[in-house]
Amino acid sequence: MAKWQDFERCPHCGLDFGTGEGDRACSWGDCAYLPEELNVFCDQCRFNFYTMEGNPPCPDPLGCEHSAGPLEHVENYRRWLASRQTAATAP
């Protein structure tokens, strides 16, 4: 199992790493502990490849030279989120 699959939020953290919304348990802008494999934001312009929201300077964010990594991370994030939701509903 990849290390990112075992990632757990800090206690009391309500930040949604995919949307960037929610209450943080710390004063960090981004989670300092989030594995790179779950980072769905462009490192250059912070375009969100999970929600497809943002204000990218390039005309086609999906074709941007910086999109490959975050696009791969979107699937990782979906799998990680699904595993957390499944664990929360398990008896």
- What count of other Cβ atoms lies within 10 Å of the Cβ of residue 49? 24
What are the helix (H) ranges across 1-91? 68-89
* pLDDT for the residue 74: 96
Distances (CA, A) of 11 to 26, 43, 49, 82: 10, 26, 26, 19
pLDDT along the chain (91 residues), means of 10: 85 86 83 92 94 93 94 94 78 62
* pLDDT for the residue 70: 95
* pLDDT for the residue 61: 94
* pLDDT for the residue 91: 62
Give the HSE-up count for residue 46: Cα atoms under 13 Å, Cβ half-sphere: 7
Tokens of 32: 């300092």
Phi then psi for residue 69, to 5 deg, are -60, -55
Whole-model pTM over 0.85: no
CA torsion sign, 88 to 10 to 45 to 42? Answer: negative
Q: How many domains does the chain have?
A: 1
Query: Domain containing 17: what range?
Result: 3-89
